[in-house]
Copies of this chain bind each other. A is one copy, B any other.
């Protein structure tokens, strides 16, 4: 990837800032009034999803200028480079070919695609044999439960997919353990039987501290229950590229599925890292999940910038972050099964784009990765929406709304839909002080009381939100949705000049963690640490007495 100009150095950046300053206090109602086609034209279909980005502080001229910025940035070449397998992860000298994991053809990557096809066949074997009950544990009992042990990308994606696609579940219950806190594994194992439990250990290196620690504890649990060392192959599968470490642990090569250095952890749910969710939903559903993502890949690769859903979402991110001063982005899935989506997106976006130098190591003078947060609607309405509506922070929102329910309870689901549309509309329309005053008078308040309370009831409105709809939460729409955010993250990264595929910022914490663990364990460690850490270590020691 060629050295590129910083976003703020591109021509047109200053003009965009001027436009943003004008639009900062724009009335969205007026934008709709001035542009009768806005509600229709500011929508987009992509791979079965529909995006409505009409409720934004954005006009056609601003969009045109943003698209010109895109052209000048060279992003289109980066998109081609991504799919072509160029070493776009330049600091680690690797391609980022997660799109190949869901492809139906090699796209010119014959060797890698052959590996993908082989891995899919292995995944299918495990998913099929577990769901048809033919896998047995050490005592001959059928395996009924799978515990995925992984953290970060080896946890968030598969966990989200498993929970989101509950109506598609087969005969195996899948559980997820990630935290090094021993309570996580212990609580999970409480309801499980060693005879019928299989562990899927997900760690590319087989060295991730949390995963290895939990796997060793799981191994001890099995051996304590009566399994022999030679039975471990009936209870452990590994997704790793370190076959030797897996073998040393007791997992033979036949029980290992591959991971490759051209797939980043946070982009790996499509690989064998997704084994646990493939087991949960069965292979056919998992393939539909891959197909949904592939459809979004095709949309992303082939759509013109102005009709490109991931790119438009990325431009909205830049617009609010860089031109309108937003430091955060809230994601509100109005579907309880998508409640883990914000957790997944936190890693995807913040680990990818929480960077302060560009891909060439040059310090950036502008804001990158916003804080992403959120929760399932309608939960947030009774919690943090007060701040969305009346706070002083600008919080651009994504509402995600499946239009039908799997529950059969369409009457109740309609309430969910109504609430979602109402929140998006409310953010936009607000309520003037005069309206609030009138409403309070209607409620029977005195003129004086109405005057006193109206400022509290008034809402500024003109707060931006996108609404992303889909027919239902199903494997295909979920795949498309996750790929949409993956590509949005990529576009934002490239426009900011960032390499979204490395994560150098997490290394030092691991090193210092090892040093502190040695100190807490009474082992000879490095020299003294800062006075605060020394005091806290002493406090911990006192508490062990």
Binding site for B on A (CB under 8 A): 29, 32, 36, 38-40, 42-43, 50, 52, 54-55, 91, 151-153, 155-156, 166, 178-184, 186-187, 208-210, 213, 217, 265, 327-328, 330, 334-337, 343, 346-347, 350-351, 353-357, 361-364, 366-373, 375-393, 395, 403-407, 409-410, 412-419, 421-426, 428-431, 452-457, 459-460, 467, 469, 471, 499, 502-510, 512-517, 520-521, 529-537, 539-540, 543-544
Q: Which of B346, B456, B459 contacts A383 (CB 8 A)?
A: B346
Contact A456 B509 (CB under 8 A): no
A–B Cβ pairs within 8 angstroms, 25 of them: A32-B530, A32-B532, A36-B531, A39-B532, A55-B532, A153-B382, A180-B416, A181-B413, A184-B336, A210-B378, A366-B392, A367-B393, A368-B392, A369-B391, A371-B373, A371-B393, A372-B384, A381-B506, A389-B505, A390-B504, A390-B505, A403-B540, A456-B502, A459-B508, A469-B543
Docked Cα-Cα span, A376 to B346, in Å, equals 13
Contact A516 B421 (CB under 8 A): yes
Contact A356 B460 (CB under 8 A): yes
Knowing A50-B539, A213-B412 are in contact, say whether A178-B379 is a contact too (CB < 8 A).
yes
Most buried by B among A379, A382, A423: A382
Contact A508 B426 (CB under 8 A): yes
Residues of B within 8 A of A335 (CB): 181, 183
Beyond A422-B516, A456-B502, 20 additional contacts (C-beta under 8 Å) are A39-B530, A39-B534, A151-B382, A152-B383, A179-B377, A180-B412, A180-B415, A181-B335, A182-B407, A210-B415, A350-B383, A351-B386, A354-B390, A355-B390, A355-B391, A366-B392, A370-B393, A391-B505, A424-B532, A467-B532
Contact A506 B386 (CB under 8 A): yes
Q: Which of B151, B337, B421 contacts A378 (CB 8 A)?
A: B151
Knowing A179-B378, A355-B391 are in contact, say whether A505-B385 is a contact too (CB < 8 A).
yes
Docked Cα-Cα span, A456 to B166, in Å, equals 40
Docked Cα-Cα span, A372 to B422, in Å, equals 24
Shortest distance from the beta carbon of A164 to any chain B beta carbon, whole Å: 10
Q: Which of B152, B210, B517, B530 contacts A29 (CB 8 A)?
A: B530
| Copies of chain A in the complex | 2
Contact A513 B210 (CB under 8 A): no
Docked Cα-Cα span, A457 to B33, in Å, equals 50
Shortest distance from the beta carbon of A19 to any chain B beta carbon, whole Å: 21
Docked Cα-Cα span, A415 to B409, in Å, equals 46
Contact A536 B467 (CB under 8 A): yes
Contact A414 B520 (CB under 8 A): yes
Residues of B within 8 A of A410 (CB): 544
Residues of B within 8 A of A357 (CB): 455-456
Contact A543 B387 (CB under 8 A): no
Contact A469 B354 (CB under 8 A): no
Knowing A91-B456, A469-B539 are in contact, say whether A327-B393 is a contact too (CB < 8 A).
yes
Contact A386 B503 (CB under 8 A): yes
Docked Cα-Cα span, A376 to B180, in Å, equals 10
Contact B351 A156 (CB under 8 A): no
Contact A504 B91 (CB under 8 A): no
